[in-house]
Amino acid sequence: MKKCIVREIKISIVLLCCCILNVGCGVQAYHGNKTEEVINIEPAYDGQHNSDDEVEDYQSFSGFWSESGISHEELLKNGGIEFYVEITNQKELSGWIYAQQGGTERFAEIDNISCSIEDGQCVWPFADDGWGNSGTLHIQLKQDAIGITVEDFVLSDENLSGYGISGSYILTRRNMTQESDMEKQTQQFEVSGMEEQTQQFEVSDIGECSEPPEQYREDWSEERLLEEIGKRSRYREYCSFYSEWVNYMENVREVRDIAMYVEPLYATDTKAYSRKDFEGVPPLILHLAKNEIYARHGYIFQDTDLYNYFMMMAWYQPGVTPEEFDDSVFNETEQDNLDILKELDTY
């Protein structure tokens, strides 16, 4: 299998400080022994309720938030942090936080955040941000901003880079026009003809990609590879199982860099697997492993989640519609592995 060239660069963490409307913000960052100002914003309801029976409704906070409202493309290019929020039952918050460091492409993520909001605030302890660090997220909601402070941050002894999700941030809602355009494009992929799907790459107004994504080659430089992964990253937000897959890659396979986007999960085209090889593998990963066999041959998936997932992968090049696909392209090893995975796939 091809190996991704990943360079270890020792750096210091750079955090951006922003001022949003009339909300003042400071940034608390972990720089060895240096700690700066902690943010403090008023809660969304400011403690004002019409009656003791009134139920706070934070449904409007659902969506994507980021520093200065930057797009995901800008985050990947220059670094930053983004927060996906989903509110259910008016005050139950769930979501995830993703941070990327400009220059090095290091990233950290806290998944499966779940807490109940009271008076515009909630807390969520985390044991790992992808780098072994731990702490507690203190989340404050205001009508035009979300403040996040990482309290009781503990840097992992094994984290020699010092990177992770620490400090304090003020986030604003991401540009909704851009998000709407992204969602509209994803829907077009699902309902349009397969030939039109391929053409969409050329007319996309999202990001700076004016050509169809290219398939990774071993002779690419690291810069070229990062550029391609950056082009494809926009599909991540529209893959419902992305967080589950990242959690598996980081915590089970211990892959926390761009290598996860460069190679398939299994070498099903060259290695003959047995059922025993897949014991204990999560249903989602088995499902992806089965579909990887098709993806290697350019199969264009009608399932939106699968399509967005494989579009994240630098090795995937869509090109064959379901109507045109002929499974005779599978070699004997692929066919044997496919038979096993079809039986095991319960996702």
> Which CATH number does the domain housing residue 164 bear?
2.40.128
**Tokens 């249903």, located at residue:** 283
Q: Residues 315, 246: one domain?
A: yes
Q: Residues 95, 200: one domain?
A: no
Q: Three-class SS of residue 284? A: helix
Query: Is 3 within a domain?
Result: no
pLDDT of 196 > 50? The answer is: no
Q: How far is CA 171 from the centre of its chain?
A: 17
Query: Is 24 within a domain?
Result: no
Query: Is 66 within a domain?
Result: yes
Q: Look at residue 212 in the predicted model and tell me its pLDDT.
A: 60
Q: State the sign of the Cα–Cα–Cα–Cα dihedral 260, 264, 267, 270.
A: negative
Give the integer Cα–Cα distance in Å for 288 and 245.
10
Number of domains in the chain: 2
Last residue within a domain, chosen from 174, 189, 216: 174
Q: Residues 330, 230: one domain?
A: yes
Burial class (CB in 10 A: 0-12, 13-18, 19+), 145: buried
Last residue within a domain, chosen from 143, 174, 205: 174
Give the integer Cα–Cα distance in Å for 278 and 266.
10
Contacts of 54 (CB under 8 A, 6+ apart): none
pLDDT of 283 > 90? The answer is: yes
**More confident site: 178 or 96:** 96
Q: Residues 82, 169: one domain?
A: yes
Residue type, 249: M
Name the token pair of 302. 């009608």
Domain containing residue 240: 177-344
Query: Is 275 within a domain?
Result: yes
- Please, how many CA atoms are within 13 Å of residue 186, restricted to the half-sphere of its CB? 22
Query: Is 34 within a domain?
Result: no
DSSP-derived pairing of the beta strands 145-154 and 80-88: unpaired
pLDDT (tens digit, 9 = 90+) per residue, 104-154?
Answer: 768 899 989 999 999 999 999 999 998 999 999 999 998 789 999 999 999
Q: Residues 121, 181: one domain?
A: no
Q: Three-class SS of residue 195? A: helix
Q: Residues 312, 193: one domain?
A: yes
Q: Residues 190, 319: one domain?
A: yes
pLDDT of 54 > 80? The answer is: no
Q: Residues 236, 128: one domain?
A: no
**Tokens 């992929």, located at residue:** 189
Q: Residues 230, 156: one domain?
A: no
Q: Look at residue 56 in the predicted model and tell me its pLDDT.
A: 78
Q: Look at residue 269 in the predicted model and tell me its pLDDT.
A: 95
Give the integer Cα–Cα distance in Å for 149 and 329.
53
Give the integer Cα–Cα distance in Å for 111 and 114.
9
Q: Residues 118, 139: one domain?
A: yes
Query: Is 112 within a domain?
Result: yes
Give me the chain's average pLDDT, please.
Answer: 77
**Tokens 């990177």, located at residue:** 163
Beta bridge partners of 141: 146
Residue 176: closest CA among 264, 260, 63: 63
Last residue within a domain, chosen from 174, 189, 220: 174
Q: Look at residue 238 in the predicted model and tell me its pLDDT.
A: 85
pLDDT of 53 > 70? The answer is: no
Query: Is 47 within a domain?
Result: no
Q: Residues 206, 320: one domain?
A: yes
Q: Residues 331, 205: one domain?
A: yes
Confidence of residue 14 (pLDDT cuts 50, 70, 90): very low
